[in-house]
Amino acid sequence: MKVVIVGGVAAGASAAARLRRLDEKAEIIVFERSGYVSYANCGLPYYIGDVITERENLTLQTPESFYNRFRVKINVHHEVMAIHPDSKTVSVKNLKTGNEFEESYDKLILAPGARPSRPRIFGMDTEKVFTLRTVEDTFRIKDYVSKNNPKSAVVAGGGFIGIEVAENLRELGMDVTIVQLFKQLTGNFDPDMAAMIHAEMRKHGVKLALGQAVEGFEKYDDGVKVYVKDQQALHADMAILAIGVTPDTALAREAGLQLGIAGSIIVNDRMETSVADIYAAGDAVQVKHYVTGNDALISLAGPANKQGRIIADNICGGNSRYLGSQGSSILKVFDMTAASTGINETEAKIAGLKVDKVILSPMSNSSYYPGGRVMNMKVVFEKGTYRLLGAQIVGYDGVDKRIDVIATAIHAKMKATQLKDLDLAYAPPYSSAKDPVNMAGFMIENIAKGILKQWHLEDLEKLPHDGSVTLLDTQTAKEYSRGHIAGFKNIPVDELRERLDEIEKGKPVYIVCLSGIRSYIACRILEDYGYEAYNLSGGFRFYNAVTSDRVLVEKSYNCGIEK
């Protein structure tokens, strides 16, 4: 059996290695147009920022090491120019010599990945405008930074790569501005959770121009001028375009393979394309979202590796199936960690689901143990069924552990209420006896049983201030003096029982405290005394973070770049 693989990196290299482990006699040939067959794509920004200091650490395998271990023929600097399904051949060009030849196959695996999106704006090829996708891109940026010592940079795009590049350039001491078309960074998060990411970026001196569109680039003195729609142009020593990726599927299109979203390759759950004996995997394929069942594009290394493995299994006579992508991801934002899994509230509503959520801010470890930090958690579930849909966590220590636990629960199709039942590891340096994941489950169970009634940030504007409802803040007097929502009367929770006569019966009571815990206790007290009480999800701390961010985002959108 002869298997030809177009593209290396995650999907292609994974397929090649698995094929060899399953079939010692198969002839396996990989064509990779770059100079690197298997590299740490996600580590590229950290090489620019000197976190990863050795070039060779970016390359997981070389053609020589891959051949020595797996006897796979790796051809770098070779581009497949055409696929001929009828004759089961591919046309290949040696990019170094210009030589062209035909290669036959019994099975063909397409792992071309994705290319940086190139919007229709002028000046894309301007000197000192870079893109970041391959190892070669990284070396070009790193060499420019090392030789020219630039003082400023504009990053066009606020997704994961844009954020990581901005962080690493800022850590090098550069003045950095992110220009992002949408009014928030990274769409994995709802706007309220993205506010925490914005705050961390600003804290470290990164300027955010959110809701702004880059219109083009132009060489300017020794740097580049970045034109922003309806704003003054920005001047920087360099610019990096990181506005996303597009499936690289010209080969598939020309070969007559069925395509889907954004030109991605349509595959079934065995990773088979619409043409016999041709498989596809990685960033170039359309997948099913594990939560919604809808078609999706999810460009992540984990799914790509799994898909490559599944293809190898099936080529070797197995029957492996890809169950769909859940979109679990994690991001370092300076000192902070931001992670998500499943779908967020915004996506759930777009999908037509009736959703509810809990927002909590537990400590990363026991409160009495030194070093604990607050994390902000948002867990989204379906109303009525309590199907667990997704979660977002922004914080410091322990974020990765909690998001992986919830990701596993979603995969296992657990109900959100069952999070309370999980038996999770506990010791004071790592958690509390009631783990944050358990706490989310307790809250959702209370909602299911009618013990907890919530109100949310988006409800604030609808609350009447005509005396028909009671607005109550249960922070301490000192906390209240430091910050509160206008119109909310302060009665500290520990004084509430003695001051019930100050709260008129027959009116709904909307309650807030700093984190949502004491206001929940106040709700329970009032409910037992015959009041109808609602607790603000997330508390005043969450309200303050989100509303403060909204002010800065609108200032950026309406008046120019944040200072």
pLDDT digits (tens, 9 = 90+) for 365-410: 888 888 889 999 999 999 999 999 999 999 999 999 999 999 999 9
Cα–Cα dist 215/379, whole Å: 37
pLDDT digits (tens, 9 = 90+) for 150-183: 999 999 999 999 999 999 999 999 999 999 999 9
Mean residue pLDDT of the chain comes to: 94
Q: Which helix (H) or strand (E) segment is 168 a member of?
A: helix 160-171
| Its pTM surpasses 0.85 | yes
Written as six digits, the tokens of 255 are 């070969």
Res. 537: pLDDT tops 80: yes
Res. 245: pLDDT tops 90: no
Confidence of residue 563 (pLDDT cuts 50, 70, 90): very low
Q: What are phi and psi of 42, to 5 degrees?
A: -70, -15
Residue type, 174: M
Q: Bridge partners of 32?
A: 76
Residue type, 549: D
pLDDT of residue 53: 83
- Residue among 13, 34, 33, 118 nearest 81 (CA): 33
Which residues neighbour 373 within 8 Å (Cβ) at sequence distance 6 or greater?
363, 364, 395, 396, 397
H-helix segments, 449-538 = 477-482, 517-528
| DSSP state string for 114-157 | EEE---S-BTTT-TTEEE-SSHHHHHHHHHHHHHH--SEEEEE-
As a dihedral over the C-alpha atoms of residue 165, residue 171, residue 176, residue 180, rounded to 10 degrees, the angle is 40
Cα–Cα dist 260/287, whole Å: 10
Res. 58: pLDDT tops 80: no
Cα–Cα dist 349/225, whole Å: 39
Phi-psi region of 362 (alpha: psi -120 to 50; beta: other; left: phi over 0): beta
Cα–Cα dist 73/331, whole Å: 35
- Residue among 388, 403, 379 nearest 328 (CA): 403
Cα–Cα dist 434/556, whole Å: 40
DSSP assignment, residue 233?
A: P
Mean pLDDT of 273-287: 97
Do the beta carbons of residue 197 and residue 552 sit within 8 Å? no
Sheet-wide strand order for 27-32? 73-76, 27-32, 2-6, 107-110, 278-280
Cα–Cα dist 519/541, whole Å: 13
pLDDT of residue 557: 66
Res. 560: pLDDT tops 80: no
Mean pLDDT of 355-361: 97
Q: Is 87 exposed, middle or buried (0-12, 13-18, 19+ CB in 10 A)?
A: exposed
Cα–Cα dist 494/474, whole Å: 8
How many C-beta atoms lie closer than 10 Å to residue 336's C-beta?
20
Res. 100: pLDDT tops 50: yes
Q: What are phi and psi of 442, to 5 degrees?
A: -60, -45
Least confident of 36-45, 96-105, 371-380: 36-45
Do the beta carbons of residue 389 and residue 355 sit within 8 Å? yes
Mean pLDDT of 189-200: 97
Q: Bridge partners of 490?
A: 473
Catalytic residues: 42
Res. 346: pLDDT tops 70: yes
Written as six digits, the tokens of 481 are 């003096």
pLDDT digits (tens, 9 = 90+) for 462-496: 999 898 999 999 999 999 999 999 999 999 999 99
DSSP assignment, residue 109?
A: E
Residue whose tokens read 């693989």 = 5
As a dihedral over the C-alpha atoms of residue 162, residue 337, residue 196, residue 460, rounded to 10 degrees, the angle is 130
Q: Which helix (H) or strand (E) segment is 346 a member of?
A: helix 345-350
